[in-house]
Amino acid sequence: MHDETVTVLENRKVNAKYFKISFRSKHLASGVEPGQFVQIKVREGWDPFLRRPFSYYRIRGERIEILYEILGRGSELLSKLTKGDRLQVMGPLGRGFSREIRGKKRILVGGGVGVPPLVFLAERYGCDRFYIGTKSRHEVMPLSEIRKFHSRVFHTTQDGSYGVRGLVTGPLEVWFKKDDFDPEAYFIQTCGPTRMMERVMEIASHFGVEGEASWEERMACGVGVCLGCMVWTHYGWTCSCTEGPVFQFEETPPRETWAVR
Ligand SMILES: Cc1cc2nc3c(=O)[nH]c(=O)nc-3n(C[C@H](O)[C@H](O)[C@H](O)COP(=O)(O)OP(=O)(O)OC[C@H]3O[C@@H](n4cnc5c(N)ncnc54)[C@H](O)[C@@H]3O)c2cc1C
Ligand code: FES
Q: Where are the domains of the chain?
A: 2-93, 105-214
Angle between helices 194-207 and 169-176 (to 10 degrees): 0
Ligand nearest to the CA of 115: 1
Distance separating alpha carbons of residues 157 and 162, to the nearest angstrom: 6
Q: Which helix (H) or strand (E) holds 202?
A: helix 194-207
Phi, psi of 208 (to 5 degrees): 80, 35
Residues near ligand 2 with C-beta < 6 Å? 219-222, 224-229, 239, 241
User: Which pLDDT tens digit goes with each residue over 191-239?
Assistant: 999 999 999 999 999 999 999 999 988 899 999 999 999 999 988 999 9
- Fold for 105-214, please state it: Rossmann fold (3.40.50)
pLDDT at 151 over 90: no
| Ligand 1 atom nearest 219 alpha carbon | 53
| Ligand 2 atom nearest 225 alpha carbon | 3
Superfamily of domain 2-93, CATH level 4:
Translation factors (2.40.30.10)
pLDDT at 241 over 90: yes
The overall average pLDDT reported for the chain is: 94
pLDDT at 255 over 80: no
More confident position, 161 or 258: 161
Least confident of 38-42, 96-100, 150-154, 205-209: 150-154
Distance separating alpha carbons of residues 51 and 40, to the nearest angstrom: 5
User: Which pLDDT tens digit goes with each residue over 51-67?
Assistant: 999 999 999 999 999 99
Give the percent of the chain with pLDDT over 70. Answer: 99
Q: Phi/psi zone of residue 109: left (φ > 0), alpha (ψ -120 to 50 degrees), beta?
A: beta
DSSP 57: -
The pLDDT-based confidence of 156 (bands split at 50, 70, 90) is: very high
